[in-house]
């Protein structure tokens, strides 16, 4: 009888399906890669053939240029393809635009590699779809019971309240350039905020892409062109590392906000000099992870990255077989020192000059 | 409770005093009675719940969570109250979409309900009650509740700042609140009624209230030319903490009423609890403006010694015996019911001398006047206090004070009446070694500097850090140093950068400081008092900066009380 480990195995480059001859989110260049989503730690350039959703492929192209892979193949959610008896299907992961869970079926046994996911509402991407399976591969970024993300709308209210209270100051919201920034904008629009929202130059291309996919974000402007006086009482989205950058000096007495699941922990927010932490995450929180793991019906759980110990322990107390995968190379885009900000305001290549101060190490 | 929790949450992260004020003003303005009054009580430290111990909260969470998950979480978060607040199992999984607030408005848990319930609740019912509340609140609410009942918010708000926010509701000064404060009790309904114009000002029932202090301007040598020596009296500026010691009688019959004594800091914070040994000495009704010092065997101790007492949380008999508090009197603001602030300084001084004599207590003495006929004589006294009357206490003198003989006691810093003429600071040339990003408005600037001096190391000369400074420079100089730091970084440690500092390349900082003491916490074995950047020495190569030996020699001179002849 076929076992889950006959379908997927751990390899130095990430999870690999030997039968189908492909890797999922490999951390090194491989011949064939299935990519769950376009965040740079999961979607790397240089693979031979890449299979992903159209959005993921488009976003990779935006980032890495036309030649990011030998060939590409787009697949919509729910569509399937068979590779040497391994049937691959993509299902929405609810993490960012285009994010997918990869289901691999062989002889009626189903394995799901979920990439990064969240089961909370997000106006900028398709909602997470629960896929029943035998082996579930889960992330564990926020796998501690202290992480409960709560209601994102309440965090947006907090931001709007602060804006009303300090109308002469600029509000800078640090947010990861791909996904988080657009979600925050969409949440602001849902809350009825219809003033122009300003953007750091590094976010322009990706945000334009979201808009081209029919996601309504209202009127957006680049902070680059605005005067200090114009920026009073406005909201500007920027990469987290820009919050402590020279770039902030163009704003009147800026309030540093940061949208991330890590903002739940006070010491983390304070270390980073954040004055207005906003707990808004694109990852499942503890309740979300445990509820999802349980609901998949999987008897075996592999944990890729984050706080593996706690989730593995929780699985054990529920009689589930679980083990950490210890894959090196998956980062955490909700950290302040993220890899995205190695772009200058013009969206151009990073320089070692003063413009960018805190280089991310993709920790 | 949630509104109050939100306020605390914002205050905890907001670095700027002004913005903290605005957050509080907004809260007091938009919150009704008695809720805001209890909030004011909580912020000013007027509430305490002796039965709610951290251990109780810890046992509550232990009953509800897996011990392994708790340990992993506590280890990650680092703060017990916060860990419990975050991992408390709530009734509705908060990440599930569609779950809003579960409580109806009329059942909402208010701060008022928490305070009123706890006031009558027996110790035995406390655990269950707390658990019910924790069930009903969200993460921030639980954090605030636990901090409230176990004491200590640590949100960077002093009692005075909270009072200033209340005062701002009606464009009043914080002193207007301080004066009536001791007569008020939570939830301060009559205070808010007065501030909102709905009632008369509450009567000040306090016989020992704080009076806004008079402050001096710093004197430059150049200012002297415009001043006439015969108009001024001079005294030593002692290196302790400026305090106001007030005593008054309670009740309608002043002669027999019980005497109430209080000690205030310069900013009006009551610090009586820290100095019970001094309060006993205030046996006559009156208000003394003076300097709090530590006195051993008739000798004033250094500020360093005073600090060792200030840093203690609990005041034990041993501490009081080792660090006996002493009040050195500068001025008399009231005697009995008589307000002396409208009298000229010379007259108040005479009254003070008689008052201190009547008190006749070894813990209170007069700050002596310095005899001088010309500025030249005073300059000499300032340079050599030991020879000009300060004697063995000279090491605790940080300069001289000049007071106009006819000056009334005016709150604030009125022009031209009182002058402080500080001893010249010590000056050294040090080399910038590390720079750290600042906070708030300075968060994009490297504005905190660690500097070092040369010493003989294992492999020849090396720099050893001797201090840290984050002010003294102009805005323009800050920009220049920031640029230097960014261009000369050799290593990064989070928000800290190590900058280039070898014998030929680096930035020499002229550092001014007020004193030097031995310290086991620093690698150099020394700690500077009040260091600041005096000048940027772009012209000087680092190898010409000072050596540790020079500081060693200085500290020995300080310890021997020979301060004459600065090292500058």
Hey, is the C-beta of B26 within 8 angstroms of any chain A C-beta? yes
Grade residue B252 by pLDDT with cuts at 50, 70 and 90. low
Cβ burial of B51 (10 Å; 0-12, 13-18, 19+) is: middle
d(CA A81, CA A287): 33
Hey, is the C-beta of A178 within 8 angstroms of any chain B C-beta? no
d(CA B325, CA B348): 24
In a domain, B395, yes or no: yes
Q: What is the mean pLDDT of residues A124-132?
A: 97
Least Cα distance to B363 among B287, B269, B300 occurs for B300
Give B440→chain A minimum CA distance, Å.
7
Same structural domain, B480 and B501 = yes
Plot region of B540 (φ>0 → left; ψ -120 to 50 → alpha; else → beta) = beta
Residue A149 pLDDT greater than 90, yes or no? yes
Q: Do B10 and A276 touch (CB under 8 A)?
A: yes
Least confident interval from A298-312, B99-113, B458-472: B99-113
Give A121→chain B minimum CA distance, Å.
6
Question: Residues B317-339: pLDDT tens digits?
Answer: 999 999 999 999 999 999 998 99
Give B448→chain A minimum CA distance, Å.
15
pLDDT score, position B307:
83
Same structural domain, B395 and B499 = no
Same structural domain, B383 and B531 = no
Least confident interval from A19-28, B149-158, B358-367: B149-158
Q: Do A148 and B6 touch (CB under 8 A)?
A: no
Q: Which two tokens stand for residue A243?
A: 């919050």
Give A144→chain B minimum CA distance, Å.
6
B512-528: buried (b, 16+ CB within 10 Å) or exposed (e) per residue?
bbbbbbeeeeeebebbb
Give B399→chain A minimum CA distance, Å.
38
Hey, is the C-beta of A160 within 8 angstroms of any chain B C-beta? no
Residue A347 pLDDT greater than 70, yes or no? no
pLDDT score, position A336:
55
Same structural domain, B434 and B476 = yes
d(CA B444, CA B337): 54
CATH of the domain at B483: 2.40.50.140
Question: Residues B165-181: pLDDT tens digits?
Answer: 999 999 998 888 987 88
Give A154→chain B minimum CA distance, Å.
9
Q: Do A162 and B15 touch (CB under 8 A)?
A: no
Grade residue A140 by pLDDT with cuts at 50, 70 and 90. very high
Number of independent structural domains in chain B: 2
With H, G, I as helix, E, B as strand and everything else as coil, classify residue B284.
coil
Q: Do A245 and B76 touch (CB under 8 A)?
A: no
Hey, is the C-beta of B94 within 8 angstroms of any chain A C-beta? yes
Hey, is the C-beta of B80 within 8 angstroms of any chain A C-beta? no
Residue A234 to residues A207, A226, B351, Cα–Cα distance (Å): 18, 11, 60
Q: Do A256 and B443 touch (CB under 8 A)?
A: yes
Question: Residues A12-65: pLDDT tens digits?
Answer: 888 999 999 999 999 999 999 999 999 998 999 999 999 999 999 999 999 999
Give B154→chain A minimum CA distance, Å.
12
Hey, is the C-beta of B50 within 8 angstroms of any chain A C-beta? no
**Of B422, B438, B470, which residue sits at a domain end?**
B422
Hey, is the C-beta of A355 within 8 angstroms of any chain B C-beta? no
Give B91→chain A minimum CA distance, Å.
12
Q: Which residue of chain A has the CA closest to B69?
A: A310
Q: Do B69 and A269 touch (CB under 8 A)?
A: no
- What angle in degrees, to the nearest 10, is found between the helix axes of B111-120 and B35-43? 70
- What angle in degrees, to the nearest 10, is found between the helix axes of B2-13 and B17-30? 170
Same structural domain, B308 and B445 = no
Q: Strands, E, within B186-285: which ranges?
A: 217-218, 232-238, 241-249, 259-265
Give A107→chain B minimum CA distance, Å.
34
d(CA B395, CA B539): 34
CATH of the domain at B329: 3.30.470.30
Residues of B in contact with A148 (CB under 8 A): 86, 90, 93-95, 139
Parallel, antiparallel or unpaired: strands B489-493 and B397-404: unpaired
Q: Which residue of chain B has the CA closest to A159?
A: B10
Of A162, A248, A307, Cβ closest to residue B444: A248
pLDDT score, position A340:
40
Q: Do B79 and A266 touch (CB under 8 A)?
A: yes
Residues linked to residue B418 through DSSP beta bridges, in sequence order: B403
Between positions 236 and 295 of A, the ones with CB within 8 A of B are: 243-249, 253, 256, 264-267, 269-271, 273-277, 284-285, 287-288, 291
In a domain, B65, yes or no: no
Hey, is the C-beta of B90 within 8 angstroms of any chain A C-beta? yes
Residue A358 pLDDT greater than 60, yes or no? no
Instruction: Compute the count of residue pairs across chains A and B with CB atoms less than 8 Å apart.
Output: 115
Of B13, B86, B97, Cβ closest to residue A270: B13
pLDDT score, position A147:
95
Hey, is the C-beta of A344 within 8 angstroms of any chain B C-beta? no
Hey, is the C-beta of B556 within 8 angstroms of any chain A C-beta? no
Same structural domain, B360 and B240 = yes
Hey, is the C-beta of B223 within 8 angstroms of any chain A C-beta? no
Residues of B in contact with A245 (CB under 8 A): 444
Hey, is the C-beta of A95 within 8 angstroms of any chain B C-beta? no
Same structural domain, B371 and B465 = no
Residues of B in contact with A270 (CB under 8 A): 13
Q: Which of B441, B444, B483 should we substitute to test contact with A (largest number of A Cβ atoms within 10 Å)?
A: B444
d(CA B458, CA B544): 20
Same structural domain, B255 and B316 = yes
Q: What is the mean pLDDT of residues B487-501?
A: 90
H helical segments located in chain A:
4-7, 54-64, 152-165, 180-190, 204-212, 266-271, 286-295, 308-317
Hey, is the C-beta of B6 within 8 angstroms of any chain A C-beta? yes
**8-state DSSP, B138:** -
Please report, for chain A, the start and end positions of each structural domain, with discontinuous segments joined by +. Answer: 4-146+282-332, 152-280
**Of B422, B447, B480, which residue sits at a domain end?**
B422
Q: Which residue of chain B has the CA closest to A158?
A: B6
Q: Which of A95, A142, A144 should we substitute to test contact with B (largest number of B Cβ atoms within 10 Å)?
A: A144
Of A151, A273, A277, Cβ closest to residue B94: A151
Q: Which residue of chain A has the CA closest to B437?
A: A244
Question: Residues A179-218: pLDDT tens digits?
Answer: 999 999 999 999 999 999 999 999 999 999 999 999 999 9
DSSP secondary structure letters along B150-191:
HS---SS--HHHHHHHHHHTTT--HHHHHHHGGG--TT-HHH
Same structural domain, B418 and B452 = no
Q: What is the mean pLDDT of residues A232-256?
A: 93
Q: Do A148 and B69 touch (CB under 8 A)?
A: no
Grade residue B395 by pLDDT with cuts at 50, 70 and 90. confident
Greatest alpha-carbon pair distance for chain B in Å reads 83
**Of B422, B446, B476, which residue sits at a domain end?**
B422
Least Cα distance to B426 among B543, B240, B271, B555 occurs for B555
Q: Which two tokens stand for residue A316?
A: 């054990």
In a domain, B52, yes or no: no
Same structural domain, B327 and B447 = no
Residue B297 pLDDT greater than 50, yes or no? yes
Residue B562 pLDDT greater than 80, yes or no? no
Residues of A in contact with B90 (CB under 8 A): 148
Contacts of B357 (CB under 8 A, 6+ apart): none
**Thinking of the domain A4-146+282-332, which architecture would CATH place it in?**
4-Layer Sandwich (3.60)
Give B95→chain A minimum CA distance, Å.
5
Q: What is the mean pLDDT of residues B230-253?
A: 90
Residue A127 to residues A92, A96, B93, B236, Cα–Cα distance (Å): 6, 10, 18, 74
Between positions 119 and 158 of A, the ones with CB within 8 A of B are: 119-121, 144-151, 158
Q: What is the mean pLDDT of residues A118-138?
A: 96
Give B218→chain A minimum CA distance, Å.
30
Q: What topology is assigned to A152-280 in CATH?
A: Rossmann fold (3.40.50)
Same structural domain, B414 and B275 = yes
Give A17→chain B minimum CA distance, Å.
33
Between positions 5 and 64 of A, the ones with CB within 8 A of B are: none
Cβ burial of B80 (10 Å; 0-12, 13-18, 19+) is: middle
Provide the whole-model pTM: 0.78
Query: Which range has the top average pLDDT, A62-76, A315-329, B92-106?
Result: A62-76
Between positions 467 and 486 of B, the ones with CB within 8 A of A are: 483, 486
In a domain, B417, yes or no: yes
- Please state, rounded to an integer, the average pLDDT across all residues of chain B: 89
Residue B567 pLDDT greater than 50, yes or no? no
Same structural domain, B471 and B441 = yes
Hey, is the C-beta of B76 within 8 angstroms of any chain A C-beta? yes
Q: Do A275 and B79 touch (CB under 8 A)?
A: no
Tell me which residue range forms the domain holding B393: 217-422
């Amino acid at each position: 009888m076929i076992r889950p480990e006959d379908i997927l195995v751990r390899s130095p480059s990430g999870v690999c399906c030997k039968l189908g001859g492909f890797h999922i989110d490999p951390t090194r260049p491989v011949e064939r890669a299935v990519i769950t989503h376009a965040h740079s730690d999961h979607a790397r350039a240089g693979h031979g053939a890449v299979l992903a959703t159209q959005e993921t492929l488009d976003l990779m192209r935006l980032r890495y240029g036309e030649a990011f892979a030998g060939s590409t193949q787009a697949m919509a959610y729910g569509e399937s393809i068979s590779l040497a008896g391994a049937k691959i299907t993509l299902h929405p992961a609810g993490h960012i635009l285009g994010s997918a869970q990869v289901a691999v079926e062989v002889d009626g046994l189903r394995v799901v590699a979920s990439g990064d996911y969240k089961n909370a509402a997000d106006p900028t991407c398709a909602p997470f779809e629960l896929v029943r399976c035998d082996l579930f591969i889960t992330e564990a970024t926020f796998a501690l019971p202290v992480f409960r993300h709560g209601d994102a709308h309440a965090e947006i209210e907090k931001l709007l309240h602060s804006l009303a209270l300090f109308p002469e100051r600029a509000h800078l919201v640090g947010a990861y350039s791909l996904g988080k920034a657009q979600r925050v904008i969409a949440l602001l629009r849902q809350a009825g905020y219809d003033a122009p929202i300003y953007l750091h130059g590094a976010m322009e291309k990706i945000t334009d892409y979201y808009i081209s996919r029919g996601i309504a974000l209202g009127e957006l402007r680049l902070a680059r062109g605005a005067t200090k006086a114009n920026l009073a009482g406005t909201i500007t989205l920027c990469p987290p590392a820009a919050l402590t950058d020279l770039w902030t000096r163009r704003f009147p007495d800026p309030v540093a906000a940061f949208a991330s699941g890590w903002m739940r922990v006070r010491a983390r927010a304070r270390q980073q000099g954040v004055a207005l932490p906003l707990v808004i995450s694109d990852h499942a929180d503890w309740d979300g992870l445990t509820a999802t793991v349980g609901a998949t019906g999987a008897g075996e759980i592999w944990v890729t990255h984050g706080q593996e110990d706690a989730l593995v322990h929780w699985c054990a107390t529920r009689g589930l077989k679980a083990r950490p995968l210890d894959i090196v190379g998956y980062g955490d885009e909700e950290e302040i020192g993220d890899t995205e900000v190695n772009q200058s305001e013009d969206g151009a290549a990073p320089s070692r000059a003063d413009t960018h101060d805190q280089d991310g190490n993709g920790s | 409770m949630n509104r109050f929790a939100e306020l605390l949450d914002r205050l905890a992260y907001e670095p700027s005093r002004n913005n903290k004020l605005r957050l509080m003003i907004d809260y007091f303005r938009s919150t009704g009675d008695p809720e805001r009054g209890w909030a004011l009580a909580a912020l000013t430290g007027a509430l305490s719940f002796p039965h709610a111990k951290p251990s109780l909260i810890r046992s509550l969470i232990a009953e509800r969570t897996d011990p392994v998950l708790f340990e992993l979480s506590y280890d990650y978060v680092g703060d017990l109250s916060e860990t419990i607040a975050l991992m408390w199992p709530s009734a509705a999984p908060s990440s599930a979409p569609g779950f809003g607030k579960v409580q109806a408005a009329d059942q909402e848990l208010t701060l008022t309900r928490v305070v009123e319930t706890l006031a009558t609740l027996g110790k035995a019912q406390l655990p269950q009650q707390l658990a019910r509340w924790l069930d009903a609140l969200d993460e921030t609410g639980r954090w605030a509740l636990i901090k409230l009942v176990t004491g200590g918010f640590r949100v960077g708000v002093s009692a005075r700042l909270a009072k200033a926010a209340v005062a701002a509701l009606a464009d009043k000064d914080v002193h207007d609140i301080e004066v009536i404060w001791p007569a008020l009790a939570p939830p301060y309904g009559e205070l808010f009624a007065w501030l909102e114009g709905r009632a008369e000002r509450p009567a000040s029932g306090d016989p020992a209230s704080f009076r806004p202090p008079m402050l001096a301007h710093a004197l430059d040598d150049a200012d002297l030319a415009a001043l006439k020596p015969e108009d001024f009296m001079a005294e030593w500026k002692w290196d302790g903490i400026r305090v106001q010691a007030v005593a008054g009688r309670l009740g309608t019959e002043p002669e027999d009423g019980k005497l109430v004594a209080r000690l205030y800091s310069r900013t009006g914070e009551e610090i009586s609890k820290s100095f019970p040994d001094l309060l006993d000495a205030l046996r006559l009704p009156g208000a003394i403006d003076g300097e709090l010092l530590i006195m051993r065997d008739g000798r004033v101790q250094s500020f360093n010694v005073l600090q060792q007492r200030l840093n203690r949380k609990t005041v034990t008999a041993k501490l009081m015996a080792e660090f006996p508090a002493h009040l050195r009197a500068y001025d008399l603001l009231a005697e009995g019911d008589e307000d002396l602030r409208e009298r000229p300084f010379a007259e108040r001084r005479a009254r003070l001398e008689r008052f201190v004599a009547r008190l006749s207590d070894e813990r209170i003495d007069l700050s002596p006047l310095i005899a001088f006929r010309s500025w030249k004589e005073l300059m000499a006294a300032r340079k050599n206090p030991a020879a000009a009357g300060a004697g063995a206490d000279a090491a605790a003198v940080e300069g001289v004070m000049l007071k106009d003989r006819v000056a009334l006691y005016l709150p604030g810093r009125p022009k031209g009446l009182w002058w402080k003429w500080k001893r010249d600071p010590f000056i050294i040339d040090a080399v910038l070694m590390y720079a750290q990003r600042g906070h708030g408005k300075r968060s994009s600037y490297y504005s905190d500097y660690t500097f070092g001096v040369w010493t003989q190391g294992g492999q020849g000369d090396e720099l050893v850090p001797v201090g840290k400074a984050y002010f003294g420079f102009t805005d323009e100089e800050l920009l220049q140093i920031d640029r230097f730091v960014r261009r000369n970084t050799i290593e990064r440690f989070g928000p800290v950068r190590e900058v280039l500092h070898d014998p030929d390349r680096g930035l020499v900082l002229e550092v001014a400081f007020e004193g030097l003491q031995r310290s086991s916490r620093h690698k150099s074995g020394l700690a500077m008092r009040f260091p600041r950047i005096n000048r940027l020495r772009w012209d000087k190569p680092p190898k010409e900066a000072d050596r540790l030996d020079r500081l060693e020699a200085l500290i020995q001179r300080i310890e021997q009380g020979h301060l004459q002849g600065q090292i500058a």
